Structure 1
Amino acid sequence: MRLEGKRAIVTGGASGFGAGIVTKFRAEGAKVMIADINADAAQSVASEGDLVHAVDVSVADSVDAMIDAALGAWGQVDILVNNAGVTHLPAPLDTVTEEDFDHVFAVNCKSVYLTARKLVPHMKSSTSGTILNVASTAGVSPRPNLNWYNASKGWMNTATRTMAVELAPFGIRVNALNPVAGETPLLKRFMGEDTPEMRQKFLSTIPIGRFSTPEDMGNAACYLCSDEASMVTGVCMEVDGGRCI
C-alpha cells in the first residue's frame, strides 16, 4: 500500500498506459480519478470508489472543471499524472497539416500548462504534491517522420525539469516517464500501419525486445509518485528496454 491515503488524477486514464497507472495506483491504496475524453471507456475501467470525469485536456474550462471536481470530492489532490497524449501519423515534417500540429501541441503540451495553472496553487498551499508527466523516448531519441510529436515530447521533458526546479521549494516534486512504444491505442498511429513487418521494425530498436506495457508504466509511476522517491525530482525516467542507449 505504497500510495495509501493519496488522491490522484490520471488523465488519459481509460486506456493504454493511463489504465495501467490507474490499476497500479488503486492496488497500492490511492483514490483515483480516471479523467479521459472518452467517459464511457473511463467508466468501464473504474472500480468502486473511483471518480470518473470526462475532460478535454486541451481546453482550459474543461481542465478547470476536472480539478474542481477532484478537489470538491477529496479536498486535496496529492498526485497529478499528465498522461493524455496524441500523435500525428508518420509523415515528412513539411507535410503535416497545421491542424494536426496544433492538435498535438494542444493535447501534449498546453495541457501541462493548464493543469499546472489550476492545481499548483493548491499544492503550494499544502506544501506537498507530485506531478508526473508522461513523455516519450521520442523526445529523447527521435524517429524520422514523427517530427512534431517528437518535439512535443521533448518540450514535455524540458517542462518537467524547469517545473521541478521552480516548485521544489514548495515541497512539490515533478518527474517524467519516457516509455518506448507500447500496446496502446497510439501504437498503430506511430507505425502508420499495424503489420508484423512494421512491428518487427520497431522491436528491432529495443534491446530488451518487447514493447512497453501498461504494467511497466504503472510500476514506474508508482515509485516516482510514492514517498520512496521523496528525493527524486526533475528526473525523466526512460522505461524503454534500452531504446535510448
Structure 2
Amino acid sequence: SWPNKSGIVVTDEESERLFNVNIRSIYIASKILIPEKRKDSPGSTVVIFSENAIRPGATQTWYNATKAGVSSATKSMAPKFARDQLRFNTYCPTSGNTPLLDKFAGIPNSPVPAETIKAKCEAIPIGRLVEPSDVANVAPFLADPASSIISGVEILVDGARCV
C-alpha cells in the first residue's frame, strides 16, 4: 500500500506489484492447492485481507480494489467448493499496534507520533488499536474442524470500526 497515492499517480510497476501480491497470488495458490485439497477433503482456507475492501479510503484506490478482490474471490470459492467439503473464509483486522503502523502512517522507520495513534484510536469505536493478540486466534478458529459449518464469512477484527 502507498499512503496518499490514489488513482492516476500510481505507476504501472506499482500497480503490477500490487495486483501480483494481492490478486494473482491467490489465483496461483488456488489453482495449485484446490485440486490437491479436493483429494484430501475436508479442508479450510483462511485468507487475511484489509478493511480497505469494506471501508475504502480515497487515497488508496488500487490497494482498496485489490483487497476487495481478495474478499470477493474468497467468497466466490466458498459455495463453489462447499460440496467438496472445502471451506473458504477471510478475516480483516483494522489498524494494529504492529511494526507496520509507521508505514501506514506514512513515516517509515520513524516512531508513529502520539497524535497519529490517538486519531487512529478515536476512529475505532472500542477506543484502541488492534493488538496482535486480538488477531491471533481468528485463523485457528476458522481453520478448526469444530468450525466446519462456517464458510464464506468475513470476520472483522476492528473494534466495530466498519459497522
TM beyond 0.5? yes
Q: Which residue of 2 aligns with 1:153?
A: 67
- Which structure 1 residue ranges, 5 or more long, are not aligned? 1-86
1:228 partnered with 2:146: yes
Out of 141, 145, 157, the position equivalent to 1:239 is 157
Output the CA distance in 1 between the equivalents of 2:58 and 2:151: 30
Letter matched to residue 110 of structure 1: R
1:215–1:196 Cα change, 3 Å: same
Contact 2:92–2:156 (CA<8 Å) still a contact in 1?
Answer: yes
Out of 115, 120, 131, the position equivalent to 2:45 is 131
Q: Please give the residue correspondences for 1:76-87 in structure 2 after superposition, counting only pairs within 5 Å.
A: 87=1
Q: Which residue of 2 aligns with 1:15?
A: none
Q: Which residue of 2 aligns with 1:112?
A: 26
Q: Which residue of 2 aligns with 1:51?
A: none
Q: Which residue of 2 aligns with 1:74?
A: none
Q: Which residue of 2 aligns with 1:163?
A: 77
Output the CA distance in 2 between the equivalents of 1:219 and 1:107: 24
Q: Please give the residue correspondences for 1:20-169 in structure 2 after superposition, counting only pairs within 5 Å.
A: 87-169=1-83
The CA deviation at 1:88 is 2.3
The CA deviation at 1:130 is 0.7
Output the CA distance in 2 between the equivalents of 1:135 and 1:235: 12
Letter matched to residue 118 of structure 2: Q
Contact 1:142–1:150 (CA<8 Å) still a contact in 2?
Answer: yes
1:209–1:182 Cα change, 3 Å: same
Q: Which structure ranks higher in relative contact order (CA pairs < 8 Å, sequence separation ≥ 6)?
A: 2
Q: Which residue of 2 aligns with 1:191?
A: 105
Instruction: Provide, for residues 122-156 of structure 1, a one-character-per-residue CA deviation record: whole Å limited to 9, x for no partner.
Output: 11011221101101111101122122111111111
Q: Which residue of 2 aligns with 1:22?
A: none
Q: Which residue of 2 aligns with 1:178?
A: 92
Contact 1:132–1:174 (CA<8 Å) still a contact in 2?
Answer: yes
In the TM superposition, structure 1's runs of 4+ consecutive aligned residues that sit over 3 Å from their partners are none
Output the CA distance in 1 between the equivalents of 2:101 and 2:114: 13
Q: After alignment, is 212-221 or 132-141 more displaced? A: 212-221
- Which structure 2 residue ranges, 5 or more long, are not aligned? none
Q: After alignment, is 235-244 or 188-197 more displaced? A: 188-197
Letter matched to residue 101 of structure 1: S
Contact 1:207–1:242 (CA<8 Å) still a contact in 2?
Answer: yes
Indicate the SS of the match to 1:155.
helix
Letter matched to residue 158 of structure 2: D
TM-score (norm 1): 0.61
Contact 1:180–1:240 (CA<8 Å) still a contact in 2?
Answer: yes
Letter matched to residue 109 of structure 1: I
Indicate the SS of the match to 1:127.
coil
